[in-house]
Amino acid sequence: MRTPSAEIFRFDSMAPCHASLGCFLQNFIQTAINRQGYFTIALSGGVTPAALFRALCRPPFSTTICWSKIFFFWGDERFLPLDHPDSNFAMAQKNLLTHLPISSDHVFRMPTEIKPYATAARHYQQTLAKTFATLTSKNEPWTKGEYPSFDLILLGMGQDGHTASLFPGHPALNRTDWVAEVETDQALPPVPRLTLTLPVINNADTALFLVGGAAKIKLAESFLACQPQPHYPASLVRPRQRLLWYLVQ
């Protein structure tokens, strides 16, 4: 399987990065909609994406992107109330979803109200299986080792090289199902999480990292220049077609 080399885009500040990233999304989304009639995206969490989401809610992207044909999922989520400021769903609702013509039946949040955590993970896998089977008109059951293919997975990266909620050395890195529950003391905020697994992330058409700050850029460049370094989960992301890194000083 071809593993794409990373395409790196560097910016001195977020505003020009968001403008460039928005243009990429506009074209990528429209090409997919022209081809298949819909677009699937897994949103990243944390703080960095919020300003990007707000930029997408303003012209030109608020009117040039065909929002009604997009299906929204998450790459990871924290087990917090849906209105908690550290909830990735709450952040996306506040900065993106409530400002655009997006139907609630096109939004598939991770079910962090479900306990135990492993049951929530299985539940989201069932949601993905059902939704992607419908979107792709898949008639036969999913087989072991078969994974949904997101058109785009948005990702961030922590200072430790984690991405989504895949943390260095965590057993979730070796999971072969679609969604994993993660309990770790490495996470900030220190709450349990759900995350898409590496096989799902790497079965995406495109993965796009949005990373800000000199320390994270230095870390990213340390592994982008050479082979994947398993200690840094972000370096293990190898989507099927394109791997994009938007680096902002």
Answer yes or no whether residue 45 interacts with ligand 6PG by CB under 6 A. yes
Options 23, 47, 82, 118; binder of ligand 6PG; rule CB under 6 A: 47
Q: Which is nearer to ligand 6PG, 38 or 108 (CB)?
A: 108
| CA 172 to chain CA centroid, nearest Å | 16
Partners of 151 in beta bridges: none
Q: How many residues bind ligand 6PG, per CB under 6 A?
A: 16
Answer yes or no whether residue 46 interacts with ligand 6PG by CB under 6 A. yes
What gap in Å lies between CA 194 and CA 52, rounded to an integer?
23
β 76-78/193-196 pair status? antiparallel
Pick the stretch among 53-61, 70-78, 116-124, 198-206 that binds ligand 6PG (CB under 6 A). 70-78
Q: Which is nearer to ligand 6PG, 48 or 112 (CB)?
A: 48
Total number of residues shown for the chain: 249
What gap in Å lies between CA 240 and CA 242, rounded to an integer?
7
Options 52, 56, 76, 108; binder of ligand 6PG; rule CB under 6 A: 76
CB neighbours of 64 closer than 8 A, spacing ≥ 6?
26
What gap in Å lies between CA 225 and CA 112, rounded to an integer?
37
User: What is the footprint of ligand 6PG within residues 126-185 (CB under 6 A)?
Assistant: 156-158, 162-165
| CA angle, residues 6, 234, 92, in degrees to nearest 5 | 100
Options 40, 44, 112, 235; binder of ligand 6PG; rule CB under 6 A: 44
**Max alpha carbon distance in the chain (Å)?**
48
Options 40, 87, 88, 95; binder of ligand 6PG; rule CB under 6 A: 88
Summarize as ranges the residues that interact with ligand 6PG (CB under 6 A): 44-48, 75-76, 78, 88, 156-158, 162-165
